[in-house]
Amino acid sequence: MTGLAELLAFLVLLCLVTKPLGAYMADVFEGKPTFGSRVLGPLERLIYRACGVSPDVEQRWTAYSGACIAFSLVGFLLFYLLLRWQAYLPFNPQRFGTALAPEGSTPMTPDLAFNTAVSFMTNTSWQAYGGESTLSYFSQMAGVCVQSFTSAAAGIAIAVAMIRGFARQSAGTIGNFWVDATRSLVYVLLPLSVVGAFALCSEGVLQNLHPYRTTTTLEGAQQKIGMGPVASQESIKLLGSDGGGFFNANSAHPFENPTPLANFLEMLLILAIPAALTHTFGKMVKATRQGWTLLVVMLVLFGAGCLIASWSENAGNPALRAFASGSNMEGKEVRFGAAESALFSVVSTASSDGAVNSAHDSFMPLGGWVQLFNMKSGEVVLGGTGSGLVSILLLVLVTVFIGGLMVGRTPEYLGKKIEGKEMKMVMLSFVATSASMLVFSAASLLVHFPASSVWNPPGSPIANLTNTGPHGLSEIFYANASAAATNGSAFAGLNANTPWFNLTLGLGMLIGRFMMIVPALAIAGSLARKKQVPASSGTMPTDGFLFGSMLMGTIFLVTALTFLPAFSLGPIAEYYLSQAGALFR
């Protein structure tokens, strides 16, 4: 009952945040004055002058895409160089990257640096390393933290550009990427992250530049305690759907997530902007009921996932019922318990955040299935900062297309006719991301390298698994899903820090990011050029219960048709085998 009460409280508070934050963002991106304009306006104009950007010049979708790709590429290159040269840069009290680095630290090899730079540039935050044993404070602040801001700003900009595609008529442009990204940073991400950082500090989240401390445990052993500027990075990692943990344990670490209140606040920070963007959409297209319909669909799917995961974890492990009853507490923090861990896991995978407060590898099969479904569905269950709205709008187009076929009319949405060229872009996005998940998963199970190969020292990628049977399949499947869905969380039973996984998962992240962005912008450009068609008696309503039900059915249909075999061989098979008493080693 406690878990259900927390879920209801969380949903209520999330809905209360949605309208004011969504309306504020609509005003920001429509260029209207806001309560922060007087303070933040000069900073915005200073950025335009420094970068040579004219805020009055708009771009076609091709130029908008090119600007986004160039912006991301520069961020990737700078972060890659920073990672490779961190030994020569300041704020490195642990001497990472030098011969004086502590024993057990992870060297930043070229393949790991590539994977890490791609990960944060694409807003994925996949980490094949432990933050406190690999990255200097400078790499955390100037690399991870900066990329958390810029990648999130790019995601919001893409969502705003797509909204304009529906809102405009006979227009050849969809806005200016540099303006949208700047406003995302200055008016949305920066002020919210400052407030979030102070709130987390008040709960005990660490924020300093001290060297690591060596302490003596109760058993008399020596232990190094990591320090660092955690709260400032924690706030933006959550708000920006980045999820990259300062520490390897991520939000399970007491310095990142010390109290139940901090845990609740972190979940709210993860979903605040994705939820609010649905209201921003409704305001900008002058049809707020459309935005609320999208939000209700998202929350219904979210709530269902939370109930399944929570029930599964509270039911416990059937293999242990003969010895003890109770929740499945393996891999979970006692200060949170099974219910809060299940809720956090759904929040992190329903978004593209990837932050975790428990070990997803230790979840029961149905809990793991919910996590996989959230990512495989395109992360439309609220989704990431900007990317969630874009993903669900792509599925809305599929839904109205199917509805149009049923009644024999050209499908329409918000007065725009949805034609073959838009649907081709939607299918390109779906096929590319789904193929990335499935093809790289299959390759990782099938390829084999010589034992001496630099590509994978153990001999084959599958040798890096700590679990066999269906759960082992799910580990690899989850890793590639997390990459293509730009989520970044992991089952963590897979040793992914090898050249093979660093390269393939990095490519999966690039596909998942840009094969969603470019088709979405092409759709926005196409729709912006069209005139709105007046609604008639044959127009299918898209703002009520019937359409919401159709949209949910489409999400399930598309996900099931694409991934049902993988689900069946992984978490579903594991569930039935576990109920029958089967064990795997």
pLDDT above 70 for 452: no
Q: For residues 155 and 241, is the Cβ–Cβ distance under 8 A?
A: yes
pLDDT, residue 433, reads 92
Encode pLDDT of 208-229 as tens digits. 888 888 888 888 888 888 888 8
Q: For residues 254 and 226, is the Cβ–Cβ distance under 8 A?
A: no
Highest mean pLDDT among 74-78, 257-261, 352-356, 541-545: 74-78
Q: What's the whole-number mean pLDDT along residues 302-331?
A: 83
Residue with tokens 């109290």: 259
- Residue 272 falls inside a structural domain: yes
In this structure, which amino acid lies at residue 104?
G
Q: For residues 465 and 472, is the Cβ–Cβ distance under 8 A?
A: yes
Q: For residues 305 and 374, is the Cβ–Cβ distance under 8 A?
A: yes
Q: What's the whole-number mean pLDDT along residues 299-328?
A: 84
Phi, psi of 147 (to 5 degrees): -65, -30
Q: Give one word for 244, left, alpha or beta, with left for phi > 0 and alpha for psi -120 to 50.
A: beta
pLDDT, residue 72, reads 95
Rounded to whole angstroms, the Cα distance separating 109 from 112 reads 5
The percent of the chain in helix, strand and coil, each rounded to the nearest 5, is: 65, 5, 35
Nearest CA-CA partner of 184 in 217, 155, 207: 155
Encode pLDDT of 93-131 as tens digits. 888 888 878 877 888 899 999 999 999 999 988 888 887
Other CB atoms closer than 10 Å to residue 493's CB: what's the count?
20
Tally of domains in the chain: 1
- Residue 341 falls inside a structural domain: no
Rounded to whole angstroms, the Cα distance separating 231 from 204 reads 9
What are the b/e assignments for 365-397, b being 16+ CB within 10 Å?
bbbbbbbbbbbbbbbbbbbbbbbbbbbbbbbbb
Lowest mean pLDDT among 35-44, 162-171, 449-458, 534-543: 449-458
pLDDT, residue 493, reads 75
Q: For residues 356 and 368, is the Cβ–Cβ distance under 8 A?
A: no
Mean pLDDT, the chain, whole residue set: 89
Domain limits for position 47? 2-98+128-284
pLDDT, residue 293, reads 94
Q: For residues 7 and 341, is the Cβ–Cβ distance under 8 A?
A: no
**Entry field: residues in the chain:** 585
Nearest CA-CA partner of 488 in 69, 234, 120: 120
Rounded to whole angstroms, the Cα distance separating 378 from 382 reads 10
Q: For residues 11 and 264, is the Cβ–Cβ distance under 8 A?
A: no
Which tokens sit at 164? 């304009």
pLDDT above 90 for 284: yes
489 Cβ partners below 8 Å, 6+ apart? 243, 348, 349, 354, 355, 356, 360, 371, 482
Between 461 and 73, whose confidence is greater?
A: 73
Other CB atoms closer than 10 Å to residue 32's CB: what's the count?
10
* Helix or strand holding residue 493 (H, E): none
- Residue 349 falls inside a structural domain: no
Residue with tokens 């002020």: 191
The three state secondary structure string of 511-530 is HHHHHHHHHHHHHHHHHHCC
3-state secondary structure of 106: coil
pLDDT, residue 104, reads 73
- Residue 498 falls inside a structural domain: no
Other CB atoms closer than 10 Å to residue 95's CB: what's the count?
13
Between 317 and 77, whose confidence is greater?
A: 77
Residue with tokens 């109930």: 307
- Residue 200 falls inside a structural domain: yes
- Residue 163 falls inside a structural domain: yes
- Residue 476 falls inside a structural domain: no
Nearest CA-CA partner of 542 in 293, 209, 194: 293
- Residue 239 falls inside a structural domain: yes
Rounded to whole angstroms, the Cα distance separating 150 from 281 reads 21
Rounded to whole angstroms, the Cα distance separating 581 from 472 reads 17
The three state secondary structure string of 533-560 is CCCCCCCCCCCCHHHHHHHHHHHHHHHH
Q: Give one word for 50, left, alpha or beta, with left for phi > 0 and alpha for psi -120 to 50.
A: alpha
